Chains A and B, each alone.
Chain A
Amino acid sequence: MTDDRALVFARIREALQTPRPLHGHYDGLPGPAPAENGKGYAAWLPRVEDTPSGRLLAFRERSELLKTELVVATRAGLAGTVQALQQRHGWKSAAWHRTRLTETAAGAAGLPLLSTDQAYETAALERVDASFTGCDALVAQTGSVLLTTRSAGGRALSILPPHHVVFAEASQLIADLPAAMRLLRERYGNDLPSMICLETGPSRTGDIERILVLGAHGPKKLTVVLVE
């Protein structure tokens, strides 16, 4: 089935023949968008102090509002932290993909594990209690986890199980959204992973009487383990 692109492109070209007039009560047409790699936008977005402690403070504050559980661990204490989390949340099984940090976590948990590094069954992934993934970065400004198919073990691992546990190095905590876009460009260039997501807190809905309910379709819980 050939599509209508020739027709639609022609309609667009014809429509744009008429220049847009100045209108209404505005001073004029908006100028060109700031194109300096998005750095211009940072000046208008919420302020974040771009130091390690400033970023951590902002991320902690956002996490509390979003109801994300933030756990700061040392590298040596990571195994113990994971065991404590497992007890608190009562995980009986988990799924994971291999990164330096998730490897330690998966070893410490001592649970039946499903890996998405190889082919896996969707139905089996749906039954696990938690998923352990890495990420590309944590965004202090918004409390988001920046993840991609490559940094978080594909598409389903971080969204299907009811509890998503993200492991990140302290050095992965970046200031704001423009920095996140820069990071993507620098890391992946023109070879973007097919899915990139800014995961901002556990899944939520307010569709019934605008009352917040966590765990609409995605994970009911989101834990970020920050390793210093």
Chain B
Amino acid sequence: MPALASVFQRDSAAYRRRGETRAFIRRALRGYEQKRDENKARFQDWQAARDAAAAIKHEAIEHLDRCLPEFIEKIEARGVKVFVAANGVRAKDYIIGVIRRHGAKSIVKSKSMTGEEIHLAQALEGEGFEVVESDLGEFIVQLRHEAPFHIVFPAMHLKRDEISRLFEEKLGSAPTDSPEELTMIARRAIRQKYCEADIGISGVNFAVAETGAIAMCTNEGNGRLTTSLPRVHIALMGIEKLVPRMDDLALLLPMLATAGSGQHLTCYNTILSGPRQPGEPDGPEEFHLVIMDNARTTLLADAQQRDALQCIRCGACLNVCPVYKNVGGHAYGTTYPGPIGSVITPHLRGLQSWKHLSGASSLCGACTDACPVKIDLHHHLLHNRRNAVRQHKTWWELLLFQGFGWVAADARRFALAGWIGRLAQPLHALVAGTPLDPLKPWTRFRALPEPPPYAFRDWWKERRGAEGGAHD
């Protein structure tokens, strides 16, 4: 078994044993579902809105060859310095170069999943820069040197007492069991950083081709502060973030909030189209936008699964996924956990190493129903399984299926096999559960059905005989 698959099995088994955490996460997600349903119900037609949202993103992705150059041309005309990076290393090198050129020491960062994908904060810290994650959840997991548990709620696996102890140890604050007090401790700690930081780094939720602007959604206001106070703003985005028109935001912003966090609209939906312009009193002097491929074009080239690039990273598919709820966000070992992560990670980081994630699914389709941009998630899990086998055939599976084909192609062979099966199955009871059991991986969690006393074919023959061949 490939190493990553056994790590996944080990970590998910460990998480399954943490009953209290699982119950806690389930409770939190139930709260989310209730809020999400309330806000979905306010839409006049949520399903039509999903169709339109899918159409918007479909249009942008299917015409990326036009949309992306148009976007770059427009935003460059606004004085933004654009850097297109083929991969994470190039993106990081460029960002480090900008920071060095400004002689900057301290950096404040708002949430960016693309940044997580390339471990940007760790890379900058490795270069000796001080990086403060300003999103409260990200700030907490950064202090714990841990990956986010969820793409929208990074610290949802932690209880207030754990956070209080963490703040006590790292920030020297007094213990408290009030989430409000804990939030204020973080607010005070990060406030000062904002005023001192030379560089603000942010993510991007949408990039508008028509106007050359980026949109960014935060609840805390950290995105606004990150892009208002420091004298240099660096934004990082994947090539798939595009939408064709500004008007499209009127639909996508409330849908992202509803699907993502069960809100009607995120608190701060900010559209940025440049550094400080003439006549504006403040804002960054420089605005660098890094647009990264990092294997997204590999996914684009897979026409069948191309719609996975429509993803707006709302996390709705994680929230409804029975697998996510039972293995937790860390077991995946990926930047993007949950169904969307299981679909895209094999494209971003190699199918053979990450195919096990597509196997860990009940294919119930809850993710597909939840997706606001109608990505066909659970079918893509099947596509990944198929592609993995096509690419890397296993000799015994091949033999098994060829053998089955040979048996099933002939009525007499099929009947004989059924007869042998009915005779042999009682013998299985002798080895069931022991190391000799060839079906152990299956029977460990499941009971074999009782062997039927006779085959369907015999029953049918008998029945036809009893009816005196009425059907002949």
Contacts and interface: CB of A to CB of B under 8 A. Distances in A.
Interface of A: 1, 3-5, 7-9, 11-16, 18-21, 23-26, 29-35, 37-38, 40-47, 62, 97, 116-120, 122-123, 126, 142-144, 149-150, 153-157, 159-160, 176-178, 180-182, 184-185, 190, 192-211, 213, 215-219
B125 to A, nearest CB: 21
A45 B225 contact: no
B282 interface: yes
A97 B280 CA distance: 12
Contact of B293 (A11, A47, A150): A11
B276 interface: yes
Contact of A217 (B213, B220, B270): B220
Given A181-B249, A181-B250, A199-B267, A218 B229 contact: no
Nearest to A31: B55
A145 to B, nearest CB: 10
Interface in B233-280: 239, 244-251, 253-254, 261, 264-277, 279-280
A200 B265 contact: yes
B21 interface: no
B297 A210 contact: no
Closest 5 pairs between A and B when the two form their complex, measured CB to CB: A218-B221, A38-B247, A216-B220, A15-B301, A155-B228
A114 to B, nearest CB: 12
B250 A45 contact: yes
A188 to B, nearest CB: 10
A15 B225 contact: no
B271 A208 contact: no
Contact of B227 (A18, A116, A119, A195): A195
Contact of B264 (A37, A142, A203): A142
Interface in B283-339: 283, 291, 293, 297-298, 300-301, 303-304, 306-307
B281 interface: yes
A16 B84 contact: no
Contact of B68 (A12, A31, A215): A12
B267 A200 contact: yes
B246 A25 contact: no
A198 B265 contact: yes
Given A47-B44, A155-B227, A194-B276, A207 B155 contact: yes
A194 B214 CA distance: 10
A102 to B, nearest CB: 14
Contacts of A7: 86
Given A194-B273, A217-B187, A3 B84 contact: yes
B179 interface: yes
B49 interface: yes
A7 to B, nearest CB: 5
B228 A159 contact: yes
Contacts of B64: 12, 16
A216 B221 contact: yes
A25 to B, nearest CB: 7
A155 to B, nearest CB: 4
A118 B280 CA distance: 10
Given A11-B297, A25-B379, 19 more contacts: A3-B94, A4-B293, A7-B86, A8-B84, A9-B65, A12-B64, A143-B265, A155-B224, A159-B225, A159-B268, A193-B280, A194-B78, A194-B272, A196-B271, A197-B271, A198-B265, A199-B268, A203-B268, A217-B225
B219 interface: yes
14 contacts: A11-B300, A15-B300, A31-B55, A46-B43, A97-B281, A126-B195, A149-B281, A197-B224, A200-B268, A202-B267, A207-B136, A207-B154, A208-B183, A216-B187
B31 to A, nearest CB: 6
A26 B376 contact: yes
A209 B160 contact: yes
A40 B213 CA distance: 22
B187 A196 contact: no
B374 interface: yes
A205 B183 contact: yes
Contacts of B97: 1
A1 B136 CA distance: 34
Given A23-B304, A33-B52, A209-B159, A156 B65 contact: no
A11 B297 CA distance: 6
Contact of B44 (A13, A45, A144): A45
A122 B195 CA distance: 7
B329 to A, nearest CB: 14
B182 interface: yes
A210 B156 contact: yes
A129 to B, nearest CB: 15
A41 B52 contact: yes
B15 interface: no
A147 B306 CA distance: 36
A13 B265 contact: no
A163 to B, nearest CB: 13
Contacts of B291: 8
Given A21-B303, A177-B253, A194-B275, A3 B83 contact: yes
A45 B269 CA distance: 17
A119 B276 CA distance: 13
Contact of A44 (B43, B59, B135, B246): B43
Given A117-B281, A150-B280, A199-B268, A46 B221 contact: no
Nearest to B28: A210
A12 B69 CA distance: 11
A50 to B, nearest CB: 14
Given A155-B227, A156-B228, A195-B283, A185 B246 contact: yes
B341 to A, nearest CB: 19
B310 to A, nearest CB: 10
B283 A155 contact: yes
A164 to B, nearest CB: 10
A12 B42 CA distance: 38
A73 to B, nearest CB: 25
Interface string B79-108: 000111110001001100100000000000
A119 B33 CA distance: 47
A192 B471 CA distance: 78
